[in-house]
Structure 1
Amino acid sequence: MPVQPTGAHKPRNRKPRPSRARGLRTTTGCLTCRKRRIKCDESKPRCGPCVKSDKECDYASAASTAEEYVLGEHSTPHQRTPSATSTSASFKSPATRRSIGEDIDSQVLANSPELRFDLSPLTLTTSLPSPNSAPFDWYDLLAEDAINNIRKHNLGGFDEICLSRRQSPVPGTPEIDTGLIDPQIQARAQSPVAETPPIAPWNADERISLTNDELTLFQYYVNVVGPILDLFDPLRHFAIVVPRLAIFNVGLLKSLLAVAARHRALHSTTPLAESSPIVQTPGSNVAGQTEASGSNPFSHIATQYYYETLQYLGRNLFYPSYSRSSEIIATTILISTYEMFDSEGSYSDGAWERHLRGVFWIQRSQDNNGESRDGIRRAVWWAWVRQDIWVAFRESRRTLTIWRPTKRLMDLTPDELATRIVYIAARCVDFAANEKHYEMGRRIEQGERLLQALDDWHRALPQSFEPIYAPPPPDSDLFSPIWIHPPSYAAAIQMFHFARIVVLINQPSMGGTNAFRQRQRLLDESVSHICGIAMMHQGQNLPSAFVNFQALYAAGLCVQSPIRQTAVLQLLAKTLEIAHFPSKTLLEDLTNSRRNEM
């Protein structure tokens, strides 16, 4: 095949494109001006714009520029439109997503704000437990709070001695001790030792049998609770994989039943006489407690299963293979989810918020993150980050994760793009924490980096994230409904606007009237999109509700119009009626927050 001479090559089947000299891709100028998307006069050692704005001025070497251009090390489009930060911005179709790099600045990856966020000092301290001790320290945290609750609330039917890990042998001792192994696998421990030891001696050989009532809760978990955790997971690990693991592992099964019963308690107003039969387990004293108190029976059932899960952990954590297994990873997030649903309960005392750090210890000890090859570990990590975002946001503390993504935006699938915004939102909440005290210039710069990361993500979205239904906004201050399908993509757009609001209301500004108007325009835009999506995702869409209430709460913090304030509160009230989490005191908190600003 003849080789075309240099300069004779023409793009095939594409429209003529402007030359590099006309602004398609900038390969000159300092890195700071490229990042800020402003014209650079290329003065050295510092260009005019950097001198004027008192910013560092760095130039890339010719070799590194050429190398990065050849390798395609870039992650964001270079060209922008005036509405690039709006969800009405143009989207690239799936067919053209893989060629997105053709319009990307070759220097962006090295300075990508998305991949270079500051890490939380909360998680970089030397006091973190070692990888081998992380599961034990997490369990000790759970057991200590459980024992305190038993004593404080005089909970009958729970033996606090069984929760003490001191009954378990220290790691490294023989794995077979019939006095400490769960009864479901005790028979195996008493049998002659096989030539090849079992891979998972803490699992049952056969499927664990379920009573009719347990099967009802099991199905409730699969149909209701699992999808809440699977909102951003197209493979549905919590609804499909976790139940299959649970029928062979007593601890995971009990934690699954505990979270199902606890969620059922949130949604159940049925009197005791009309409710379904109470789930009885060995040693359970639930029936007597329920009859005495007359309260929701599912709450007591959930508490029973929760304590039985802790007893299982205390007996089986000494297995080194178990402390590194997928089963314990899944158990940790189900326990955390149980505590999330129970966070407004009388026995909570802030346990969920404290125990999230223990889940982080185990995640870190196993090197789990949002790009883990093992699907269940990856799914658990994202579910944990979603919980940590809400707690960190409400407590004004920094988020716990120390992981940074490695995949470029241009290499992500649409589903992966949906989960990536969860990570960026975590960094935005981290930015808003009261614990961070930086001088104003640095604070403004950090906010700009976050807004840049959000903008980069938004402009990388394919057409599948565009609304299917989005009528023009009305002339009044009321919101126009926006329907995006599938729900995970709608939730991703919600998270985008939630994160943008968090940054904008926490970033200092040294600008004048124009900067104020621009910021207010972005805030109003985000409020409109959050409320528009929430209007279309009402009904009984529980998974969406667990994103809607967070976004609506953030929208309520910055909305200005009295009519819109009332509309946001009404939408939030409807969402809380669907989710039954968190408590309706969230409405009071938002109302009081607005009053304090007046």
Structure 2
Amino acid sequence: MSPQSSYSTSTGYGTEVAPLRWFGLLAGDACNGDLECSSLETLGDAALARRFHSEGVDTPRTQELPTPRPTSAFCERVALQNPSKLLQISAISPAATGVSGSVDERQYWQAPEPLNLRDHEFDIFKHFVTGVSQWIDLFDPLRHFSTLVPHLALRNEGLMKAVLALGARHLSIKPLNSGEAGIDRTAAVQYYYETLQYLQSAMRYTSYKNSLELLATVLVVSTYEMIDGAGKGWERHLKGVFWIQRSRDINGESGGLEQAIWWAWLRQDVWAAFREHRRCFTIFKPVKPYQVMDIWDMASKVVYILAQSVNYSSSEEKQLGERDLTNRIARANTLLNMLSEWRSRVSVHFEPLPVEGPSNRAFKPLWIHPPAFGTAIQMYCMARILLLINQPAAGGYLEYIGRDKIITESTNTNVS
């Protein structure tokens, strides 16, 4: 059995159920965490269904979507243990209540006019657009999260709340410039909570569960949790994002915003998997040959190879390798050859530019521009280190000496 085989079986979550499973994890962890849930209404299955039925076609538009709020017990009981039940409840829409099928249900979650920001929200929104989004857009030449996503957010309250939560959370931890007012974490938590409230209402609409707005919201929420230090909760939610993307057949070669979201999610999952000594969730294998890749495709390709290297260094693969050292050595060699091919294929854009620096520095300064390509080189070095320190040495001591030279070289690659 290959190391990836346990991840290759289908989850069985379709495009309807996967978003609900993800939301169930999100809401359940929120109610068990530091959000104020004592004031949440206790809604049983029947009561929630009656509430949705009674609203019918008269459900207000995005800005006034009703927010039936789940308790922790409700989230756990319905969303996690019985997602099909939550699916039945959430699927109740104007069309399901006997209204003509000609009604476009997007009118219930897409605002007809741009949303109005409050005075203090302009700076938070601008900080996301011009600052935080750059992380997400790292290897995306079209910069979807700084160009397209802000416009989607202006027509969707849930995405806007998520954007404000992420922007506010980063502002709450970044060093302040002279004369700059600080933002407390409480503001970010409030926006995060309001995002969950919106999601629970909008999840009943099939068009929303299959929208770009939901995908963007999912990734922004995940980024918020990453910098907020959500820990195990964030780990579970990353897997929920995997369910959503797989149910919609979204991968690193899907094109457009979907592709940008997939790569941004993979970078997050690589970090989380490395930290927890587990495999990455992805099972996708890129098929685009180097001959047709542009420089941004090449930068993304090394993320995939790094993910495979993180898999190789995981506790699970180490245990499997103890029973078959020959295959473990061969697998590392395969990945090292992939890294060598990548390094030989990338263009001159990934080479360092001249930089002046003190000769007594511990590390020789390297300047690669744009910085994204410098990050790609550091990922390449990290992957080499992971493979070489985890591959069994058939050649004994002399092989270790040779590896040590490569590891030292990779460790000293300090890109500015």
1:419 is displaced (CA, Å) by: 0.7
Q: Pairwise mapping of residues 61-76 of structure 1 onto structure 2 (< 5 A)?
A: none
User: Which of 331, 337, 360 is residue 242 of structure 2 equivalent to?
Assistant: 360
Please state whether the residue corresponding to 1:206 is helix, strand or coil: coil
Please state whether the residue corresponding to 1:212 is helix, strand or coil: coil
Alignment deviations for residues 534-560 of structure 1 (CA, whole Å, 9 cap, x no partner): xxx2xxxxxxxxxxxxxxxxxxxxxxx
1:492 equivalent in alignment to 2:376? yes
1:379 equivalent in alignment to 2:271? no
1:377 is displaced (CA, Å) by: 0.7
Q: Name the structure 1 match of 2:365.
A: 481
Alignment deviations for residues 400-419 of structure 1 (CA, whole Å, 9 cap, x no partner): 00111110122211111011
Q: Name the structure 2 match of 1:16.
A: none
1:401 equivalent in alignment to 2:308? no
Find the aligned partners of 2:251 and 2:144 in 1 and give their Cα distance. 15
1:455 is displaced (CA, Å) by: 0.5
1:466 equivalent in alignment to 2:346? no
Name the aligned partner's letter for residue 455 of structure 1.
S
Instruction: Tell me the TM-score normalised to structure 1 length.
Output: 0.59
Find the aligned partners of 1:245 and 1:397 in 2 and give their Cα distance. 34
Find the aligned partners of 1:302 and 1:481 in 2 and give their Cα distance. 37
TM-aligned CA distance change 1:252 to 1:166, over 3 Å: farther
1:196 is displaced (CA, Å) by: 4.4
Name the aligned partner's letter for residue 247 of structure 1.
L
Give 1 or 2: higher helix fraction: 2
Q: Name the structure 2 match of 1:567.
A: none
- Cα pair 2:250 2:262 within 8 Å, conserved: yes
Identity of aligned residues (%): 39
Structure 2 segments unaligned to the other structure (5+ residues): 67-93
Q: Name the structure 2 match of 1:435.
A: 316
Alignment deviations for residues 403-439 of structure 1 (CA, whole Å, 9 cap, x no partner): 1111012221111101111111111101110012121
Q: Name the structure 2 match of 1:444.
A: 329
Name the aligned partner's letter for residue 268 of structure 2.
Q
Q: Pairwise mapping of residues 214-253 of structure 1 onto structure 2 (< 5 A)?
A: 214-253=121-160
Please state whether the residue corresponding to 1:161 is helix, strand or coil: coil
Find the aligned partners of 1:262 and 1:163 in 2 and give their Cα distance. 30
Please state whether the residue corresponding to 2:305 is helix, strand or coil: helix
1:185 is displaced (CA, Å) by: 6.1
1:147 equivalent in alignment to 2:53? no
Alignment deviations for residues 172-200 of structure 1 (CA, whole Å, 9 cap, x no partner): 989945468654468xx8xxx89943362
Please state whether the residue corresponding to 2:412 is helix, strand or coil: helix
User: Which of 104, 110, 119 is residue 198 of structure 1 equivalent to?
Assistant: 104
1:512 is displaced (CA, Å) by: 3.3
User: Which of 175, 180, 184 is residue 298 of structure 1 equivalent to?
Assistant: 184
1:454 is displaced (CA, Å) by: 0.4
1:269 is displaced (CA, Å) by: 6.2
Q: Name the structure 1 match of 2:196.
A: 310
Structure 1 segments unaligned to the other structure (5+ residues): 1-116, 277-295, 538-598
- Cα pair 2:11 2:243 within 8 Å, conserved: no
Alignment deviations for residues 239-278 of structure 1 (CA, whole Å, 9 cap, x no partner): 11110100000100000000101111111569xxx975xx
- Cα pair 1:147 1:160 within 8 Å, conserved: no
- Cα pair 2:171 2:183 within 8 Å, conserved: no
Please state whether the residue corresponding to 2:252 is helix, strand or coil: coil
CA RMSD, Structure 1 to Structure 2 (Å): 3.1
Find the aligned partners of 1:307 and 1:167 in 2 and give their Cα distance. 22
Q: Name the structure 1 match of 2:406.
A: 522
Find the aligned partners of 1:399 and 1:231 in 2 and give their Cα distance. 20
TM-aligned CA distance change 1:444 to 1:134, over 3 Å: same
- Cα pair 2:63 2:157 within 8 Å, conserved: no
Alignment deviations for residues 518-574 of structure 1 (CA, whole Å, 9 cap, x no partner): 211111111121x2x1xxx2xxxxxxxxxxxxxxxxxxxxxxxxxxxxxxxxxxxxx
Q: Name the structure 2 match of 1:392.
A: 273
1:370 equivalent in alignment to 2:252? yes
Name the aligned partner's letter for residue 295 of structure 2.
P
Name the aligned partner's letter for residue 362 of structure 1.
I
Alignment deviations for residues 28-65 of structure 1 (CA, whole Å, 9 cap, x no partner): xxxxxxxxxxxxxxxxxxxxxxxxxxxxxxxxxxxxxx
Please state whether the residue corresponding to 1:160 is helix, strand or coil: coil
- Cα pair 1:230 1:237 within 8 Å, conserved: yes
1:161 is displaced (CA, Å) by: 3.2
Find the aligned partners of 1:366 and 1:166 in 2 and give their Cα distance. 30
Find the aligned partners of 2:296 and 2:43 in 1 and give their Cα distance. 41
Alignment deviations for residues 205-256 of structure 1 (CA, whole Å, 9 cap, x no partner): 1111111111111001011111111111111111111101000001000000
Instruction: Tell me the TM-score normalised to structure 2 length.
Output: 0.83
Which has more radius of gyration?
1
Find the aligned partners of 2:227 and 2:46 in 1 and give their Cα distance. 29
1:469 is displaced (CA, Å) by: 1.9
Please state whether the residue corresponding to 2:392 is helix, strand or coil: coil
Find the aligned partners of 1:162 and 1:269 in 2 and give their Cα distance. 41
1:163 is displaced (CA, Å) by: 9.5
Q: Name the structure 2 match of 1:207.
A: 114
- Cα pair 2:357 2:365 within 8 Å, conserved: no
Paired positions, count:
378
TM-aligned CA distance change 1:501 to 1:361, over 3 Å: same
1:166 is displaced (CA, Å) by: 7.7
Name the aligned partner's letter for residue 486 of structure 1.
P
Alignment deviations for residues 459-486 of structure 1 (CA, whole Å, 9 cap, x no partner): 0011121111268996x78321111111
TM-aligned CA distance change 1:369 to 1:333, over 3 Å: same
Find the aligned partners of 1:384 and 1:448 in 2 and give their Cα distance. 27
Alignment deviations for residues 476-506 of structure 1 (CA, whole Å, 9 cap, x no partner): 7832111111111111111100111111111
1:297 is displaced (CA, Å) by: 4.7
Q: Name the structure 1 match of 2:79.
A: none
Name the aligned partner's letter for residue 258 of structure 1.
A
Name the aligned partner's letter for residue 135 of structure 1.
P
Name the aligned partner's letter for residue 333 of structure 1.
L
User: Which of 295, 309, 320 is residue 414 of structure 1 equivalent to?
Assistant: 295
TM-aligned CA distance change 1:179 to 1:383, over 3 Å: same
